[in-house]
Amino acid sequence: MSGQEALFEYLLRLGDNTLILGHRLSEWCGHSPALEEDLALSNVALDLIGQTQLWLNLAGEIEGKGRDADKLAYLRDGRDFRNVLLVEQPNGDFAATMARQFYFDAWHYLLLRELTGSKEARIAEIAAKGLKEVTYHLERSQEWVLRLGDGTEESHRRMQTAIDDLWMYTGEMFESDAVDEAMVRDGIGPDPSSLHEPWLGLMRSTAEEATLTLPQPGWAQRGGKRGIHSEHLGYILADLQFLQRAYPNATW
């Protein structure tokens, strides 16, 4: 794999994560527990959609085949998507959404913080913009994990179930493959495993404060980064891509 090919893959991973999670969060709009939360979740989704445009446009540029963010988002099939499995998991109840968000935000924050020092200036720039947004996302999802974990009996039970259920999708974020290795080699991105300890530290301290029990390390579901997804992704794409597929070559 050439450096350019690896970089293209890497950018797809970044952009697909934000695309799919932004999509999931946008499903909440109008259905959340309070009006204030409708606004907040939409803001997070809007940030992620904005980051998607930046990452995927850059990916298209690197690829050099004339594809822009929209073409990449709307005209690839599931096997070509590179997001981690975590972000495509269904919203479930509010606890599941917040557990997914907290797991992701903490990792996303640590990753972007590293990427602000990337040798690839365009990546560093996008990461710097994204980091400001994600710092806030993390603050918010963490506050909710605390409230639901240490709230009522019911919320505690739901939150514990959520962190247990989603735990096996977190391992993939810290695993390294040829693409990651190429990024480390070229000084573009960090070794994913280097993010694991700080991530775990935040998980442990938050779980403790939230009176939750952090699951034990165990079997990790993997495949998203290589395009082997859960069944959920196909339905997301059916929704997301419907108009572009039904009316090819139309502009909107």
Partner 1 sequence: MTDKKEWPLWEVFIRSQHGLAHRHVGSLHAPDAEMAIMNARDVYTRRNEGVSIWVVRASDIAASSPSEKGPLFDPANSKVYRHPTFYEIPEELGHM
Partner 2 sequence: MYAQMVKTGVDHIQSKEEMSPEERAFQDRVDQDIKIEPKEWMPEAYRKTLIRQISQHAHSEIIGMQPEGNWITRAPTLERKAILLAKVQDEAGHGLYLYCAAETLGVSRDELMEQLNSGKAKYSSIFNYPTLTWADIGAIGWLVDGAAIMNQVPLQRCSYGPYSRAMIRICKEESFHQRQGYDAMTKLARGTPEQKQMAQDALNRWWWPSLMMFGPSDAESVHSAQSMRWKIKINSNDELRQKFVDQTVPQAEYLGLTVPDPALKWNAERGHYDFGEVDWNEFYQVVAGNGPCNRDRLRTRVKAYEEGRWVRDAADAYAAKKAARAKAKAA
DSSP string, 122-186: HHHHHHHHHHHHHHHHHHHHHHHHHHHHTS-HHHHHHHHHHHHHHHTTTGGGG---HHHHHHHHT
Considering CB under 8 A, how many residues would be counted as binding partner 2? 49
Query: Does 34 help bind partner 1 (rule: CB under 8 A)?
Result: yes
Query: Does 93 help bind partner 2 (rule: CB under 8 A)?
Result: yes
Say how far residue 120 (Cα) sits from the centre of its chain: 21
Q: Closer to partner 2 at the Cβ: 178 or 238? A: 238
Single out the residue of 66, 216, 219, 250 in contact with partner 2 (rule: CB under 8 A): 250
**Inter-helix orientation angle 94-115/121-149, to 10°:** 150
Kindly identify the residues of this chain, within the stretch 188-207, that bind partner 2 according to CB under 8 A.
Answer: none
Say how far residue 151 (Cα) sits from the centre of its chain: 27
Q: Closer to partner 2 at the Cβ: 35 or 121? A: 35
How far is the CA of 234 from the CAs of 76, 157, 165, 225, 230, in angstroms?
A: 11, 30, 21, 15, 8
Question: Where do runs of H (alpha helix) occur along the chain?
Answer: 3-26, 35-63, 69-74, 85-88, 94-115, 121-149, 153-167, 178-185, 196-209, 232-246
Query: Does 43 help bind partner 1 (rule: CB under 8 A)?
Result: yes
Q: Closer to partner 2 at the Cβ: 81 or 174? A: 81
Query: Does 139 help bind partner 1 (rule: CB under 8 A)?
Result: yes
Considering CB under 8 A, how many residues would be counted as binding partner 1? 16
Q: Rounded to 5 degrees, what are φ and ψ at 34? A: -155, 155
Q: Closer to partner 1 at the Cβ: 82 or 140? A: 140
Q: Closer to partner 2 at the Cβ: 158 or 225? A: 158
Query: Does 132 help bind partner 1 (rule: CB under 8 A)?
Result: yes
Distance CA 67, CA 101 (A): 29
Single out the residue of 135, 155, 161, 194 in contact with partner 2 (rule: CB under 8 A): 155
Least distance in angstroms from the C-beta of 57 to partner 1: 16
Q: Closer to partner 1 at the Cβ: 48 or 237? A: 48
Where does this chain bind partner 2 (CB under 8 A)? 19, 23, 26-27, 29-39, 42-43, 45-46, 49-50, 52-53, 69-70, 73-74, 93-94, 146-148, 150-152, 154-155, 158, 236, 239-240, 242-244, 247, 249-252
